[in-house]
Structure 1
Amino acid sequence: MNAFNHQKELQKIIQRYVLGTATPDEILFVEKYYQYLDKNPDILEQFNADEIARLADVNFTAIKSKINLNEKRKTVNLYKYISAAAILLVIAGTTFVFLYKTKSGLKRDSAIHKQLDILPGTNKAILTLADGSKIVLDEHTAANISDKDGLKISKTNEGQLVYTVLDQSHLKLGSAIAYNTIQTPKGGQYQVILPDGTKVWLNAASSLKYPEVFSGNIRSVELTGEAYFEVAKNKARPFHVKNHHQDVEVLGTHFNINSYLDDNTIKTTLLEGRVRISNGQSVKILKPGEQAIAEVSGDGIITVATGVDADDETAWKNGLFQFNNADLKSVLSQLERWYDVDIDYHTIPNKKYNGMVPRKSKLSDVLKMLEKTGNIRFEIAEGKKLKVLPGK
């Protein structure tokens, strides 16, 4: 697809957006892309005014009236942004987007073998009940999983596991707590609505252990991997998320925890409310827009970063990879979990990426965009082993 066709395809998407006929994916693309550029205006610096004037041909006023951006941010210069989009975007289908900024500019795509056409992850997980029985959760699993002792466990076709307490009279003080565990594999994700109404989104290669019914004065769950929480408010019963290195205490709030064991850091990002984080060495209280970072193998001290872009940390929940000056190793580790491939990290160069990629894209589409510098290429060996090689 040449630059002219890129521009025409982009204009078609925007036209459908303005007319109200865009698909949900196209709506997400337009709005997320403009918000992304609003926060990263330096991406446009490499283009001159003549290029912008020549490529721009869309109804900016109509778009601006439909996009609801945060009033605290500066007004989006839609004229510049859509022009830059015509230069920068390569659209596969109608939703694939990736931006890459490099001093040497964008280079020609290199060919990628068909064997790299690995499909993206899906809604799938394994549920382990209190009695040890395991249930595979996918589109073929029956909707009604369990209905006994006043507790109903069901699943939806949208990848959601729902716990509904119908009768708490069977619960007795001092009785043993029955735990369930939901685990997503590489290439899987799932959502859980816990018995108290708390919503949890699990990213790939993650697990959550929780009681079938919360009892006592504390609601406590255990997390490995990454999850986004919308905790049901209950001031009398604090909610705790524990993992291998820290404890997060909340009353009712929205936050994301990234605690993959192979990352060597735990990142807790707060979107709404307040949380208290402790690990035996340090205690921090977060406010919205802050992120706690704990080095697992270090001295245990928790540091707090302010002004964090929550969109970057929670994009996965909304069906996107979103990179903001992310190093290639970090980008590939996300692809490794989502596409269930093994990355050879020995030959990864020091490169930075900015952009957005729909998680429903095939692996080959994503890798083509990463190859755009012309300085790297990818190969898949037996066992879905992905190698990074110097560009030809």
Structure 2
Amino acid sequence: MEEEKFRQILDRYIAGEATPEEEVWLESAYINLNSKELPVYTESFLAAETQQIWKMVQANTKPVRKIKLHPLFYAAAVLVVISLAGILIYNQNHPSSYLASLPPAKDIKAGKDRAILVLDNGKQIDLDQIDNGRLADQAGVKISKTADGQIVYEMPTQVAVDNKIAHNTIQTPAGGQYQVNLPDGTRVWLNASSSVTFATSFAAERRVKLKGEAYFEVSKISNEGRRVPFTVETENQKIEVLGTHFNVNAYIDEIATKTTLLEGSVKINDAVMLKPGQQARGNGETIKVLNVNAENFIDWKNGDFILEHNDFRSIMRKISRWYDVEVVYSDDAPKKLNLGGWISRSKNISSVLEVMEETGKVHFKIEGRRITVTR
């Protein structure tokens, strides 16, 4: 089989877009490739991460009769897997010289659960430092920090009518993330350098304001038999939902605001309806709807950086926010870079950068909290 065709099928398989016939063919081929007949391929160059991918394929396949494949297939398969391994995986036997020699004390650790809760009266609570338990009471609403670090708003059955509706803001710094359970039961995951502002009790409407990026799992609420909508407002989009799972990326340093739907339905700017697996991109003037692999856009929530099909400079902006670093580019730094696979966000920054250096087309230098990018 030609290498290019093999790559195309492999790309569709990873994206979840392969046909049933292609899935069976590729899984059978991969089983043959990893059989005892070809031990050198699975032991000599495949690192632990690739073995983990193999286990995922095994988990998705039932025992099958081995299929006789043309020898040219193996040649193409080996070339593809070797090239992917070079891009995907940090090869410990051939580390890049600068990053490999970086003293641990100069490496930069991954971000963690960190956020500030700003109460309606302006009081700020550092959620990373405060003990678990009740934090505050506002208009009869109890605000607590749970043992696993979440912030939970609990409303009594009846809340006294107040002339003033209290609003809170939770904001994450660079290198921080946090989860909050809103008064209606909606769950929100905040990415780094983000904030969400909301009322401590929802009455006729449920409305929040977002800066940065967040993933929402919206509770379905009814009032007198009618569903109460949930609205997310960003600088460039207004997203109206009833009960759904979606991600909003509204960082001001990104070209466009992206709303990605995983479950349910949403309406963008009172005009555009999204279905699961679709994304609305817009800068406030126009909205473009794309069909996407939605799971790729909540990689941060799942603890990963997905590199495949992602713009290189966009990846570096993600790294800048998560590790709280400044990224600068030399004159010869690449603007585009074809990458594949993913890497955990829990790793130190040097491990993430080494994966990209394995392409041989980019290099990085760490100086304090500044990352310099060169070719």
Is TM (by shorter chain) over 0.5? yes
2:116 maps to a residue whose letter is I
Q: Which ranges of structure 1 fall in alignment gaps of 5 or more residues?
A: 1-33, 70-78, 91-96, 101-105
Give the whole-Å Cα distance in 1 for the aligned partners of 2:328 and 2:54.
48
Residue 144 (structure 1) aligns with = 134
What is the alpha-carbon distance in structure 2 between the residues aligned to residue 193 and residue 259 of structure 1?
21
CA–CA separation in structure 2 for the residues paired with 1:85 and 1:313: 25
Per the alignment, residue 98 of structure 1 pairs with 88
Q: How does 1:212-291 map to 2 (within 5 A)?
A: 212-216=200-204, 218-234=205-221, 235-278=226-269, 283-291=271-279
1:389 corresponding residue in structure 2 = 374
Counting aligned pairs with the same residue, the percent is 39
> Which residue does the alignment assign to 1:19?
none
Counterpart of 2:174 (choices 186, 192, 217) is: 186
Which of 300, 309, 315 is equivalent to 1:325? Answer: 309
The answer to whether the Cα contact below 8 Å between 1:107 and 1:374 also exists between their aligned partners in 2 is: no
CA pair 309-62 structure 1, distance change in 2 beyond 3 A: closer
Instruction: Please tell me the root mean square deviation across aligned C-alpha atoms, in Å.
Output: 3.7
Residue identity opposite 1:229 in structure 2:
F
Aligned to 1:13: none
Structure 1's 37 and 259: CA in aligned 2 closer, same or farther, altered over 3 A?
closer
Find the aligned partners of 1:64 and 1:261 in 2 and give their Cα distance.
Answer: 39
Shift, 1:328, TM fit = 1.7
2:115: which partner in 1? 125
Report the TM-score, using the length of structure 1 for normalisation.
Answer: 0.73
User: Gapped runs of 5+ residues in structure 2?
Assistant: 1-11, 44-50, 63-73
Summarize deviations over 1:194-236 as a string: whole Å, max 9, x none: 00000010000000000000112x2100000000000001253
The yes-or-no answer on 1:153 pairing with 2:137 is: no
Secondary structure of 2:307's counterpart equals: strand
Q: Describe the SS at the equivalent of 1:271.
A: strand
2:365 is matched with which residue? 379
Alignment match of 1:364 (pick from 342, 350, 370): 350
> Within 5 A, what are the aligned runs for 1:111-122?
111-112=98-99, 113-114=102-103, 116-122=106-112
The answer for the alignment partner of 1:21 in structure 2 is none
Residues 131-165 of structure 1: CA deviation (Å, up to 9, x unaligned): 11000011643332124643111112433111011
Looking at structure 2, the residues matched to 188 and 256 of structure 1 have their Cα atoms a distance apart, in angstroms, of: 17
Q: Go from structure 1 to structure 2 and tell me whether the alpha carbon gap of 1:38 and 1:376 turns closer, same or farther (over 3 Å shift).
A: same
- 2:343, 2:352 within 8 Å by CA — same for their partners in 1? yes
Q: Is the 8 A contact 1:126 1:183 kept in 2?
A: yes
Q: Which amino acid aligns with 2:323?
A: Y
1:211 is matched with 199
Instruction: Indicate how the Cα distance of structure 1 residues 177 and 359 shifts in structure 2: closer, same or farther if over 3 A, else same.
Output: same
**CA contact 2:139–2:159 (8 Å) conserved in 1:** no
1:66 deviates by 3.7
Q: 1:332 to 1:237 in 2, by over 3 A?
A: same
Q: CA deviation at 1:55?
A: 2.2
Task: Quote how far apart the aligned CAs of 1:83 are.
Answer: 11
Shift of 1:322: 1.0
Q: Hey, what's the Cα distance between the residues in 2 that align with 1:372 and 1:169?
A: 58
Matches for 1:13-32 after TM superposition, within 5 Å: none
CA drift at 1:60: 11
Deviation at 1:51, TM superposition (A): 9.3
Deviation sequence 1:359-388 (CA, Å, 0-9, x none):
100001111111112232211335x12111
Query: Normalising to structure 2: TM-score of the pair?
Result: 0.76
CA contact (8 A) 1:124 1:159 kept: no
CA gap of 1:60–1:341, structure 2 versus 1, over 3 A, is closer
Give the Cα–Cα distance (whole angstroms) in 1 for the partners of residues 95 and 306 of structure 2: 23
**CA contact under 8 A between 1:109 and 1:374: conserved in structure 2?**
no
Moved segments of 4+, more than 4 Å: 37-41, 49-52, 57-65, 79-90
The answer to whether residue 152 in structure 2 is matched with residue 162 in structure 1 is: yes
- 1:50 and 1:228, CA in 2 relative to 1: closer, same or farther beyond 3 A? closer
